[in-house]
């Protein structure tokens, strides 16, 4: 069974192609008043819209949601905590950068969230972030040193974590010691209610040599994005590096989708979005890469440039191509989110992953 996650919006949502005109969630300013608008103040806030998306993802059969790191958007840890509180079964993956805090602090927050959610929290580290973002948050670690720090971060976080219950003993740790370039820990380790919990599943990403090396040693899932020439080469390198460590790392993929009943309807949606931003010039199909892959999603405000466009059957077939290539965790996205989540759950997932999502009669 392939794991399907939904990437949550971090800066509001809406139908428009221009992200600045998306008025759901409080980021694009107030929307126009219509007969359906509740004009009473305080009855529907930004997080109500976000929680509708979270609820829809769980109710429509997705396996979980990704709360993305966005320096200009909602804080991912707060969104993840709200999602864990609002759901019963969904995995919630929080994306954050290692400069967020010490690994011991991140581990302690996560231990409490694991207690809250019965072990449904996952981590995704945003290691290779924008230089301007790094400067704005006061982070002076640059280049491949970011990956060295991330390796220490995960080593320390796992070191203080105890998956087996350990009785409390006041402020006494469990003897974990670490002296590194970025972190030093003396007598670290969780006891009592912070022990006996599953460590968050770790998702990492990137295709540089440093990123693949980090994942080979520390990741549970390495997340790729689509590229014009695919991801077969970095996936093969990841498997080689992980094998040398005696490990197996699952492969994931993150991509936006526009899927409709027919291919014509899907491309009509793309063209409407495209013409909002490009009233003249070549049409949207000029960026088609074949096999339903389209390279214009970045201009529509998505973090990934390449995603899938087509009928539900066509998109499902391409998703099956990915799973056949070794992908077993896929994070989808689309806007407006709540509508696209419902379309995905009702029309797409059972086609893309029938073995995991279609009930069959037990043999007599």
DSSP state of 362: P
Taking 50 as the pLDDT cut, the residues of the chain under it are: none
Write the secondary structure of 67-121 as one string of H (helix), E (strand) and C (coil). ECCCCCCCCHHHHHHHHHHHCCCCEEEEEECHHHCCHHHHHHHHHHHHHHHCCCE
Hey, how many other C-beta atoms are within 10 angstroms of the C-beta on 262?
A: 13
pLDDT value, residue 237: 98
pLDDT of residue 135: 86
What DSSP designation does 347 have? I
pLDDT at 44: 67
Residue 230: partners with Cβ closer than 8 Å, 6 or more residues away: none
DSSP string, 194-247: GSS-PPPEEEEE--SHHHHHHHHHH-SEEEEE--TT-SHHHHHHHHHHHHHTT-
- pLDDT of amino acid 104: 97
For position 35, what pLDDT does the model report? 74
Report the distance separating Cα 291 and Cα 254, nearest Å: 17
**Exposure string over 241-254, b if 16+ CB within 10 A, otherwise e:** bbeeeeeebbbbbb
Q: What is the pLDDT of residue 219?
A: 98
């Amino acid at each position: 069974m392939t794991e399907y996650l939904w990437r949550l919006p971090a800066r509001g949502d809406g139908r428009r192609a221009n992200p600045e005109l998306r008025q759901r969630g409080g980021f694009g300013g107030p929307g126009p008043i219509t007969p359906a608008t509740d004009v009473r103040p305080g009855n529907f806030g930004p997080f109500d819209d976000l929680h509708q998306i979270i609820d829809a993802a769980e109710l429509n059969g997705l396996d979980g949601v990704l709360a993305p790191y966005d320096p200009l958007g909602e804080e991912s840890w707060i969104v993840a905590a709200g999602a864990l509180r609002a759901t019963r079964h969904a995995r919630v993956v929080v994306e954050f950068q290692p400069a967020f805090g010490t690994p011991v602090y991140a581990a302690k927050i996560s231990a409490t969230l694991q207690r809250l959610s019965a072990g449904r929290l996952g981590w995704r580290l945003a290691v290779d972030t924008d230089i301007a973002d790094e400067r704005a948050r006061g982070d002076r670690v640059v280049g491949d040193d970011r990956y060295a720090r991330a390796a220490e971060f995960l080593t320390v976080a796992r070191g203080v974590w105890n998956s087996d219950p350990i009785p409390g003993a006041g402020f006494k740790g469990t003897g974990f010691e670490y002296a590194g370039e970025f972190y030093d820990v003396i007598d670290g380790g969780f006891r009592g209610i912070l022990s006996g919990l599953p460590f968050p599943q770790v998702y990492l990403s990137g295709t540089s040599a440093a990123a693949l090396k980090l994942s080979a040693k520390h990741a549970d899932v390495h997340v790729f994005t689509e590229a014009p020439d695919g991801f077969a080469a970095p996936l093969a390198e990841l498997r080689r590096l992980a094998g040398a460590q005696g490990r197996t790392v699952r492969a994931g993929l993150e991509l936006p989708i526009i899927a409709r009943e027919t291919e014509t309807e899907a491309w009509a949606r793309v063209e409407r979005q495209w013409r909002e931003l490009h009233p003249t010039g070549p049409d949207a199909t000029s960026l088609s890469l074949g096999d339903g892959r389209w390279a214009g999603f970045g201009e529509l405000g998505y973090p990934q440039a390449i995603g899938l466009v087509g009928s539900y059957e066509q998109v499902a077939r391409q998703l099956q191509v990915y799973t056949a290539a070794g992908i077993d965790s896929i994070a989808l996205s689309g806007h407006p989110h709540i509508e696209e989540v419902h379309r995905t759950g009702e029309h797409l997932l059972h086609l893309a992953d029938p073995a995991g999502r279609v009930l069959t009669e037990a043999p007599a």
